[in-house]
Structure 1
């Protein structure tokens, strides 16, 4: 059994999508369709930058999605592959869930692009710039990360109060957990992390504290948008971030997409759940981030990343 998976924010880079677009008319059509849906030449920004503009959440989210879908479309149209025939499940990391659902037919491409533009805008607007932060804790599991986050909040509360938010945002693999919340609490957690068992802790270059309770206004915005959006049942089930279970009911998908704005991305648990469901191969489209996480979580799973035209062609030959 096989799962197709799709990366989240942080996978963007100037030049993304250029090679795929040069190699495939199907990929070019994806970028053109996204540009038209957004009323923006996003494909030019992806190709030429500047990097700081591409990194803006409202641009990065649809760009990462477009790049991954273009890669998949090259496989499907040029390689004669149907997702439903070659994948048993889909999954995505954070915004990658929208990409996964687009790939599986729940959303069409223009709808996905517009939802991700709104999601990026709503997440950026939820917390004033500079008030939130995120940090990666390396060499710790989720339980240890929660202990570090709690210690940071308690130490600040003891000094001056009121309580600040510092919570696990992404449980990526057995040795990589991301925390999110108020900047002061995240910086305190980074300072405490090494003496509390982390090998390393570092602030992440993000513009907002994703996947924590501070994103509640963004969750409200997405709930309203998704209520106005038609969802089709996916061609194959989605392993969702918030519960790490496979779902296919459109109503359940809508609830999960709202919950993931403030909830934990349970990627490690999702990988283990896919393995327990019989998945033996995980294929990442449009990035090289998730496959290594899969291997660190479940070494027995085959995991590959597909980014370049050569990788698309090589994978097609194995199907």
Structure 2
């Protein structure tokens, strides 16, 4: 079975999407529509902006969504997933690519998500840190024992877990994790504590936007970050999408479940190859590739 996977924040690069725009009329049409929907020329930033320009959450999230979804549209009949999953933001891309969300609605939700997350980040001093070389259970225990708000945020692959929370609590947890034998525990260059309780204001605002948006049944099951199991019900998808902002991204568990359900080949749709690397570390026997068009 063929699994298609969609990357999240951090996969962006300068010039992303330009080849699609220049070589495919359908892509050009969708990029121009995106500029209208967003009210600013995101294509200028994607094609010609600096890495600093692209790092702004309000730009990064829509940019990655656009690259992934437009690529899936350009693939046309060759895009035939038996199942899909997306890492954090990538879940929105997966839903738009499989017809659960329209292109327009998906982009508007992603733009609002970025805006609400940015606002939540500015309300409190918070951060995230990557922890390498420890068992998940050890990281979970140290987070629980550390004063303040600090929680597991991204289960990326065995031995790689990202924690998230208040700046002071994350720094203290990093010290404790190093003492416990972590190979590395380093702060990430992000603006706030994604996938933690500190995103609650963003979750509430996004919930209203999601509940006001029409969702259809996707063309294949989506393995959502919160449940890690196959979901097709539009109502369940909405519920899980809302919960995702304050809950951890269970990527390791999702990939293992997809493999258990028959996935043999994983194709990454969008910028970069981060997810292929993670899949390879989770399940070494499966094949991985990047989606590409002539």
Under TM normalisation by the shorter chain, which class is it? over 0.9
Selected match of 1:299 from 259, 284, 287: 284
Query: Which residues in structure 2 correspond to 1:166-205 (within 5 Å)?
Result: 166-205=150-189
Q: Deviations over 1:148-170 (max 9, x none)?
A: 323432xxxxxxxxxx1100000
Determine helix, strand or coil for the equivalent of 2:152.
Answer: strand
Counterpart in the other structure of 2:67: 67
Q: What does residue 159 of structure 1 align with?
A: none
1:110 counterpart SS class: helix
What secondary structure is seen at the aligned counterpart in 2 of 1:118?
helix
Alignment partner of 1:138 out of 132, 137, 153: 132
In 2, the alpha carbon distance for the partners of 1:181 and 1:96 equals 22
- In the aligned structure 1, how far is the partner of 2:175 from the partner of 2:189? 17
TM-score (norm 1): 0.88
Q: Which moved more, 1:10-19 or 1:45-54?
A: 45-54
Secondary structure of the structure 2 residue equivalent to 1:241: coil
Q: Which residue of 2 aligns with 1:97?
A: 91
Contact 2:121-2:191 within 8 A present in 1 as well: no
CA distance in 2, matches of 1:33, 1:139: 44
> What stretches of structure 2 of length at least 5 have no aligned partner?
none
> Cα RMSD (Å) of the superposition?
1.4
Deviation at 1:129, TM superposition (A): 6.0
Aligned residues of 2:226 and 2:249 also touching (Cα < 8 A):
yes
Aligned partner (choices 257, 265, 281) of residue 241 of structure 2: 257
Q: Aligned equivalents of 1:113 and 1:282: distance in 2?
A: 24
Residue of structure 2 equivalent to 1:271: 255
Residues paired across the two proteins, number: 293
- 1:83-137, Cα deviation, whole Å (9 max, x unpaired): 3xx2101110001000000000011111111101110111111133660000000
Following superposition, the deviation at residue 198 of structure 1 comes to 1.0
TM-score by length of 2: 0.96
| Structure-2 residue corresponding to 1:118 | 112
Q: CA deviation at 1:192?
A: 2.3
SS of 1:3's equivalent in the other structure is: strand
Q: List structure 1 runs of 4+ shifted beyond 6 angstroms.
A: none
Equivalent residues of 1:129, 1:208 under 8 A apart: no
1:244–1:269 contact (8 Å) kept in structure 2 = yes
Structure 1, unaligned runs of 5 or more: 154-163, 314-319
The answer as to whether partners of 1:24 and 1:74 remain within 8 angstroms in 2 is yes
Larger of the two Rg values belongs to structure: 1
Counterpart of 1:158 in structure 2 is none
Q: Does the 8 Å contact 1:280/1:301 carry over to 2? A: yes
Q: Secondary structure at the match of 2:35?
A: helix
SS of 2:249's equivalent?
Answer: coil
Is 1:283 aligned to residue 277 of structure 2? no
Q: Match for residue 229 of structure 2?
A: 245
